Amino acid sequence: MQSKPPALKILDISSVLVLAIATYLALIYAPEEAVMGQVQRVFYFHIGTAWTGLLGFLFAAGLGIVYLVKQDIKWDIAGVAAVEISAVFFLITIMLGSIWARPIWNTWWTWDPRLTTAAITELIYIAYFMLREGIEDPDRRARFGAVYTLIGGISAPITFFAIRLFRTIHPVVIGGGDPNAQGTFAMTPHMEVAFFFGLFAFTVIFIDLFWNRIRMGQLAAKVEQLKLNLMH
Question: Is residue 4 one of the residues assigned to a domain?
Answer: no
pLDDT of 178 over the 90 cut: no
Question: Is residue 148 one of the residues assigned to a domain?
Answer: yes
Q: Work out the pLDDT band at 221, boundaries 50, 70, 90.
A: confident
Question: Is residue 3 one of the residues assigned to a domain?
Answer: no
Q: What is the pLDDT of residues 26-46, one digit of tens each?
A: 999 999 888 888 888 999 999
pTM of the full structure? 0.88
Cβ atoms 11, 183 nearer than 8 A: no
Say which residue, 208 or 134, is predicted with more confidence. 208
Helix (H, G, I), strand (E, B) or coil at 1: coil
Question: Is residue 1 one of the residues assigned to a domain?
Answer: no
Query: Which pLDDT does position 184 carry in this prediction?
Result: 60
pLDDT of 181 over the 60 cut: no
For residue 197, the enclosing domain spans: 9-29+37-231
Helix (H, G, I), strand (E, B) or coil at 205: helix
Count up the domains in the chain and report the number: 1
Percentage, residues of the chain above pLDDT 70: 89
Average pLDDT for the chain? 88
The DSSP annotation for 24-36 comes to HIIIIISPPBTTT
Cβ atoms 59, 51 nearer than 8 A: no
Residue of 31, 8, 7, 11 lying closest to 19 (CA atoms):
11
Question: Is residue 150 one of the residues assigned to a domain?
Answer: yes
Question: Is residue 93 one of the residues assigned to a domain?
Answer: yes
Q: What is the pLDDT of residues 139-155, one digit of tens each?
A: 999 999 999 999 999 98
Q: 154 vs 62, 120, 148, 226, CA distance in Å?
A: 12, 12, 10, 36
Cβ atoms 79, 132 nearer than 8 A: no
Question: Is residue 2 one of the residues assigned to a domain?
Answer: no
Q: How far apart are CA 39 and CA 48, in angstroms?
A: 16
